[in-house]
């Protein structure tokens, strides 16, 4: 046996032992036990970290908490007014005539505005509904950040799991290329076979480089969402696995009203608009004011005591216009809530349908395409080693294995991305 391509038995075929050696040589070497990979971080750990540390979530939460202090402000009575009133007689000088006129005095009093009964409560209800809307919006912001973390994690897991597949297959292809070169040197193969192997090798290197770039970009995105320094250690993901979802979309659609923050925010806005209409109607009622003043005169004159009750009448034309505006606003936000609910329901149905279709395709990949492609490649490899298969057929079966493996992980990443979107729409989707 002079070379890898020159040992032949009868009928011009390779001998059995040499074919077995060639097949064994094409198996990629195992990773060294000393090269321990960094510990993988579960997705839920990063989700909790984002919920605790993301500044956008914290800012939205503070905006909601600030709004919870508004009802106490608008429900409170207007501040009382204190009055000090010197009254002079015969001269503009302060206290002129105080000792010789019963009309000169120094007065001390207070007044208090009193809104019509029910107005303060309605103003508090409007502010309370606004705070509920901001709470739902804060929840929506939190879910959007969590969804972004999940989508980035899933994509990073896809890159981190497919890059080793590409590198493994590239090592395998490199060894196939070396065999093709050996056969070409001894006149058993063609230069075209070598060039095709080199071209596919370059394509795999290009794809590996693209995966590395994607990983770097996703690492930066995740660290931003987690509020980590960009110089912190890179995140290692766990292997992707299909997440189970309810087999029927009905249960998911029922959760939209109670579990979707966008719909809840719209509903709180509708409640606020209704309270605003009630307040606009109440503003047609008059407000009141009470005042009391004590007026002290000189000792030879009697003091004065004065109580005042006044009514402030509303401008009815202006208030009717405000009522009409509030009615139109209520109708607008009601229609927007209905539109938002329909949008979320449709999005939920679409994501569920995408997940169901993805599950079917994953089953086909796992139980059909992947084992079939693997068996075809190994049969072609054995045939090529025994000089019963041309290089074109071997390369085709190799590409089938490579493409189907990558396509399986791409499908799994799409499946988990749809699950992440569904969780934002409905909450926890696990049955």
In DSSP terms, 290 is beta-bridged to 112, 309
Q: And the tokens for 53?
A: 């540390």
- Cβ–Cβ under 8 Å, residues 168 and 213: no
Report residues of the chain scoring pLDDT below 50. 1-34, 431
In DSSP terms, 405 is beta-bridged to none
- Cβ–Cβ under 8 Å, residues 425 and 344: yes
- Cβ–Cβ under 8 Å, residues 193 and 396: no
Q: CA 226, 231, 232, 238 torsion: positive or negative?
A: positive
* Residue-level pLDDT at 195: 83
Residues 6+ positions from 105 with CB-CB distance below 8 Å: 86, 87, 98, 295, 296, 297, 303, 304
* Residue-level pLDDT at 2: 39
φ, ψ of residue 104 in degrees (nearest 5): -80, 140
- Alpha-carbon dihedral of residues 144, 148, 151, 155, nearest 10 degrees? 170
The angle formed by the CA atoms of residues 137, 142 and 148, to the nearest 5 degrees, is 125
* Residue-level pLDDT at 193: 78
* Residue-level pLDDT at 96: 82
* pTM summary value: 0.81
* Residue-level pLDDT at 13: 39
Distance CA 314, CA 279 (A): 13
Nearest alpha carbon to residue 194 among 208, 169, 174: 174
DSSP result, 107-124: EEEEEEEEPPTTHHHHHH
- Cβ–Cβ under 8 Å, residues 284 and 314: yes
Distance CA 59, CA 56 (A): 5
Distance CA 182, CA 197 (A): 13
DSSP result, 75-109: HSPPPPEEEEEEE-SSSSSTTTTTTT-TT-EEEEE
Relative orientation angle of helices 316-364 and 249-259, to the nearest 10 degrees: 150
Which domains does the chain carry? 46-426 (1.20.1600.10)
φ, ψ of residue 107 in degrees (nearest 5): -110, 145
Residues 6+ positions from 56 with CB-CB distance below 8 Å: 141, 145
H helices of 294-369, in order, are 316-364
The distance of Cα 331 from the centroid of its chain, to the nearest Å, equals 30
* Residue-level pLDDT at 413: 95
Q: And the tokens for 374?
A: 């693997």
Distance CA 305, CA 303 (A): 7
Q: And the tokens for 76?
A: 């409170």
In the DSSP assignment, the letter for residue 315 is -
């Amino acid at each position: 046996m002079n070379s890898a391509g020159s040992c032949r038995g009868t009928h011009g075929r390779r001998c059995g032992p040499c074919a077995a050696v060639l097949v064994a040589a094409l198996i990629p070497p195992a990773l060294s036990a000393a090269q321990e990979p960094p510990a993988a971080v579960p997705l839920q750990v990063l989700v909790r970290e984002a919920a605790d540390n993301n500044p956008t979530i914290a800012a939205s939460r503070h905006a909601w908490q600030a709004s919870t202090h508004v009802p106490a402000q608008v429900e409170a009575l207007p501040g009382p007014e204190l009055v000090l009133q010197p009254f002079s007689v015969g001269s503009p000088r302060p206290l002129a005539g105080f000792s010789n006129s019963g009309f000169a005095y120094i007065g001390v009093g207070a007044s208090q505005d009193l809104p019509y009964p029910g107005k303060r409560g309605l103003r508090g209800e409007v502010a309370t509904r606004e705070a509920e809307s901001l709470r739902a919006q804060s929840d929506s912001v939190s879910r959007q950040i969590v969804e972004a973390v999940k989508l980035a994690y899933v994509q990073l897991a896809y890159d981190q799991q497919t890059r080793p597949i590409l590198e493994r297959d590239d090592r395998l292809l490199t060894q196939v290329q070396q065999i093709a070169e050996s056969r070409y040197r001894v006149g058993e193969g063609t230069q075209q076979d070598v060039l095709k192997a080199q071209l596919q090798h370059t394509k795999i290197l290009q794809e590996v480089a693209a995966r590395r770039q994607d990983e770097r970009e996703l690492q930066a995105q995740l660290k931003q969402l987690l509020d980590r320094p960009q110089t912190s250690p890179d995140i290692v993901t766990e292997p992707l696995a299909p997440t189970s979802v309810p087999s029927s979309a009905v249960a998911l659609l029922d959760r939209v009203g109670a579990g979707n923050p966008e719909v809840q925010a719209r509903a709180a806005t509708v409640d606020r608009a209704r309270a605003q209409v009630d307040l606009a109607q109440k503003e047609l009622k008059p407000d009141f004011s009470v005042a009391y003043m004590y007026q002290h005169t000189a000792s030879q004159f009697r003091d004065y005591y004065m109580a005042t009750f006044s009514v402030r009448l509303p401008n009815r034309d202006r208030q009717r216009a405000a009522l009409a505006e509030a009615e139109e606003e209520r109708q607008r936000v009601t229609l927007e809530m209905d539109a938002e609910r329909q949008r979320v329901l449709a999005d939920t149905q679409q994501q569920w349908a995408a997940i169901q279709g993805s599950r079917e395709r994953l089953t086909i990949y796992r139980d059909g395409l992947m084992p079939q492609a693997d068996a075809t490649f190994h049969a072609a490899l054995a045939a090529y080693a025994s000089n019963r298969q041309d290089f074109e057929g071997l390369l085709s079966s190799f590409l089938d294995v490579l493409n189907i493996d990558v396509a399986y992980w791409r499908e799994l990443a799409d499946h988990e991305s749809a699950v992440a979107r569904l969780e934002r729409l409905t909450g926890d989707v696990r049955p």
